[in-house]
Amino acid sequence: MWRQTAGPGSSQSQAETAAGPRAMAPGRETHGGRAEDRNMDRHDMQGYYFSNIMLKVQLKVVCKTKKKKKMAADILPRKKPASSSSTTVQQHHQHNLCNNNLIPAPNWQGLYPTIRERNAVMFNNDLMADVHFVVGPPGGTQRLPGHKYVLAVGSSVFHAMFYGELAEDKDEIRIPDVEPAAFLAMLKYIYCDEIDLAADTVLATLYAAKKYIVPHLARACVNFLETSLSAKNACVLLSQSCLFEEPDLTQRCWEVIDAQAELALKSEGFCDIDFQTLESILRRETLNAKEIVVFEAALNWAEVECQRQDLALSIENKRKVLGKALYLIRIPTMALDDFANGAAQSGVLTLNETNDIFLWYTASKKPELQFVSKARKGLVPQRCHRFQSCAYRSNQWRYRGRCDSIQFAVDKRVFIAGFGLYGSSCGSAEYSAKIELKRQGVVLGQNLSKYFSDGSSNTFPVWFEYPVQIEPETFYTASVVLDGNELSYFGQEGMTEVQCGKVTVQFQCSSDSTNGTGVQGGQIPELIFYA
């Protein structure tokens, strides 16, 4: 759980905030039992519930839910937080999360020195409540108290509901499209100036914040999602970011999906996306994955989609739910072995399609295909070279099975694909390299592979199985243990900071290094990454 005290923040146009997707406009609410449609039809609402349930399941798996307290300045404009740090009021509205009948002691107003603390006492409290909300879908509702003045100060939607020209003087309002936990999180922000987010409710809270036009809470939800973004949940978050019209979050999702495409496509979350998002991913030119992986991921999605539509798990139905999206898979660009042993035997392709694709591989006169036949561009890796020169001596560099290691940090999120390593200084030679990437002692990626050096001072790439996501402003440890010709080139005149495109990389010595590598000289001359 992420808890922080929110400052006033910077102002934001309500018109800009309100101009979200249809599903984000105020939904169906019942004032005194009468349904009132507010720019959201039933189809939109069902789509939201379905997507939200799917995402919640995914987030419970992939997001950390440890409690973590920060000040509002960490995610909102940096303002001085409230001066009081009363533990009494903290305990009071924490208790109110599950008990809305708490009556404060006589003269309770004198116990709290600030208006924020006194206001917080009213959070989820029946005392002086002049409105109640019945929140949640049928069978899962919760009745929550509210105070019209406080709510109207915190939200223009509540202001219109209670004090606008069309305001209705009703004591009870039904809100079936918002989860109780999410509504409580929004109320807590309005009453207490605190942002209290958890992995399994953050999307529902974002929905509530968008619906009631609480922009700073919505921004905090997006920041939370960006922080928890990984290959496991990037596809399903992409779907939700489009629904919520959050372009920054959408761009972050695409960065992860492009760089870690195979991990994203193999994740359970990929099968939870809607058809439109599936098409967007299959159409993606910069997808950094083998086409056979894309094909297999599409079949996995089709299997789950058949279950969602209560269709039999047959080849015909899989093809039916894929529809025209099947032709977005660039099957003719697969390796011939991948096609012959995979796609050709899947049963999804017709006999004519299979024959035509085989002819495409082998015939000089190629048939016309409905499938895209041009390979994806993928991503071009960048190389950060940290040495200004290299050298070799008759008695250096020797490995002896020891670890060469260096620490680095970046100022933007990148994805480390591998390292560039030196080779033999005594002619051509083959090396065995064990590469490893760690953060605070935890191994994030490792691989054991061989590479051939031609005796030049060039660097030779050694790749991880999958690119490793690197967060900004945190030091990571890059390590390699080499086995091969003992006499090797080594770097000199190392730099503590290197500008590589739009990314700044800082280097510092690592205590894991037992073979002499450091900032000024040694091994691991290059970091290979996607940005």
pLDDT for the residue numbered 104: 65
Instruction: Find all residues with CB under 8 Å of 444, minimum gap 6, and list them.
Output: 437, 438, 468, 476
In a domain, 375, yes or no: no
State how far the alpha carbon of 51 is from the alpha carbons of 249, 262, 321, 340, in Å: 17, 23, 18, 36
Angle at Cα 151 formed by Cα 147 and Cα 153, nearest 5°?
125
Same domain, 183 and 60: yes
Same domain, 86 and 219: yes
Q: Which two tokens stand for residue 152?
A: 């109207």
Same domain, 195 and 59: yes
In a domain, 244, yes or no: no
Residue pointed to by tokens 């996607």: 530
CA-based R_g, the chain, Å: 28
pLDDT for the residue numbered 69: 32
User: Amino acid identity, residue 56?
Assistant: K
Same domain, 355 and 390: no
In a domain, 367, yes or no: no
Q: Which two tokens stand for residue 157?
A: 């939607």
pLDDT for the residue numbered 112: 87
Domain that holds residue 82: 2-227
In a domain, 520, yes or no: yes
| Secondary structure (3-state) at 451 | strand
Angle at Cα 492 formed by Cα 486 and Cα 495, nearest 5°?
135
Q: Tell me which of 297, 328, 362 is where a domain ends.
A: 362
Q: What is the CATH number of the domain that holds 205?
A: 3.30.710.10
State how far the alpha carbon of 282 is from the alpha carbons of 151, 295, 331, in Å: 44, 9, 12
Instruction: Find all residues with CB under 8 Å of 336, minimum gap 6, and list them.
Output: 361
Return the closest-CA partner of residue 433 out of 391, 470, 478, 390: 478
Q: Tell me which of 334, 362, 390 is where a domain ends.
A: 362
State how far the alpha carbon of 287 is from the alpha carbons of 57, 228, 383, 519, in Å: 26, 21, 20, 34
In a domain, 369, yes or no: no
Same domain, 263 and 147: no
In a domain, 245, yes or no: no
pLDDT for the residue numbered 274: 96
Query: How many domains in the chain?
Result: 3
d(CA 66, CA 455) in angstroms, rounded, equals 51
Same domain, 322 and 411: no
Q: Which two tokens stand for residue 214?
A: 């609480």
Same domain, 219 and 322: no
Residue pointed to by tokens 């069902």: 46
d(CA 313, CA 116) in angstroms, rounded, equals 57
CA 391 to chain centre: 43
**Cα torsion for 344, 348, 353, 358, to the nearest 10°?**
-10
Total residues found in the chain within this entry = 531
Helix pair 42-62, 234-243: axis angle to 10 deg:
150
Contact 197, 203 (CB under 8 A): no
Same domain, 506 and 403: yes
Cis peptide before 397 (omega within 30 of 0): yes
Q: Which two tokens stand for residue 514?
A: 């037992």
Q: Which two tokens stand for residue 37?
A: 């449609």
Same domain, 344 and 413: no
State the first-to-last Cα distance of the chain, in angstroms, to the nearest integer: 29
d(CA 155, CA 174) in angstroms, rounded, equals 17
Return the closest-CA partner of residue 348 out of 372, 382, 371, 368: 371
| Secondary structure (3-state) at 100 | coil
Angle at Cα 340 formed by Cα 336 and Cα 343, nearest 5°?
105
In a domain, 333, yes or no: yes
Counting as low any pLDDT under 70, the low residues of the chain are: 1-104, 394-396, 486
pLDDT for the residue numbered 102: 59
State how far the alpha carbon of 463 is from the alpha carbons of 324, 445, 446, in Å: 35, 10, 9
Same domain, 12 and 121: yes
pLDDT for the residue numbered 209: 97
Angle at Cα 19 formed by Cα 18 and Cα 21, nearest 5°?
110
Same domain, 161 and 298: no
Q: What is the CATH number of the domain that holds 520?
A: 2.60.120.820
d(CA 524, CA 434) in angstroms, rounded, equals 12
In a domain, 350, yes or no: yes
Contact 183, 175 (CB under 8 A): yes
Strand partners, 461: 420
Backbone angles phi, psi at 101, to 5 degrees: -120, 15
Same domain, 221 and 78: yes
Q: What is the CATH number of the domain that holds 259?
A: 1.25.40
Contact 406, 513 (CB under 8 A): yes
d(CA 225, CA 202) in angstroms, rounded, equals 8
Q: Tell me which of 159, 193, 227 is where a domain ends.
A: 227
